[in-house]
Amino acid sequence: MPLKSADDKSKRLHLLEELQRSAWLDSWQKNWLRDELTRQRKGIQGERDSAFYLDQYFKNGENHVVVHDLRVKVDGDVAQIDHLIINRGIGIYLIETKNYAGNLVINEHGEFTAVYDEMRFGIPSPIEQSQRHERILARLLEQLDIRPRTGGAMKFYHVVMVHPKATIARPSPNSFDTSNVIKADQFPSWHAQFVDKIFSIGTALKIAANLRSVDTITEWGQKLVRQ
């Protein structure tokens, strides 16, 4: 069930567009603004595309609450989470969206490279980024008293979603697991396989013990949105 849509970022884009017209900028600043505007547009479009696939998949579901574009600050640390999904029994999915329309290369060390035509750019690991978000969010959940029914810490699962037209070059699963890096339109099949895996490793009783009502996870989602 979608609970919060992405924030309107049109004002941010409009500001960058207006700044480009300033007569006070030198050529380096204008080029930087042009590149930044391109990155912002691609990022926003990528978040919209991913939100569309997630909302379509969960719109009639009664086991999940979906929150898009969640920014939280805890003790001076900030987490900007593209998509957060709370499941009634399993835990929380943290989803990072990266709008790579070119090729994405991941090596055996977990290093990410984006390739456009003949140009290659090293990029920060979205998996590491999502794990940093987990550490910040976990502190907030503790402050808000959001926890599994049986106690202990909330379980987190990380997913990276890229453009459906992107290609992904992966290392051997034995050297670095990239099964949670998927194209945005593949989320339904990934989720089905993930749920099958969760239930196949003997966690059904634990999940049943932690099962919460949809009203409870909705209340949790609303608490997070208010932050």
Q: Which pLDDT belongs to residue 5?
A: 64
The closest alpha carbon to 110, from 177, 179, 186, 184, belongs to 177
What residues in the chain have per-residue pLDDT under 70? 1-13, 16-17, 35-47, 100-102, 117, 200-202, 204-205, 207-209
Q: Which pLDDT belongs to residue 100?
A: 67
Q: Which pLDDT belongs to residue 139?
A: 94
Neighbouring CB atoms inside 10 A of 143's CB total 12
Please tell me whether residue 59 adopts helix, strand or coil conformation. coil
Q: Which pLDDT belongs to residue 40?
A: 62
The torsion region of residue 48 among left (phi > 0), alpha (psi -120 to 50) and beta comes to: alpha
Q: Which pLDDT belongs to residue 47?
A: 66
Dist CA 181 CA 170 (whole Å): 9
Residues 6+ apart with CB under 8 A from 187: 53, 54, 57, 159, 161
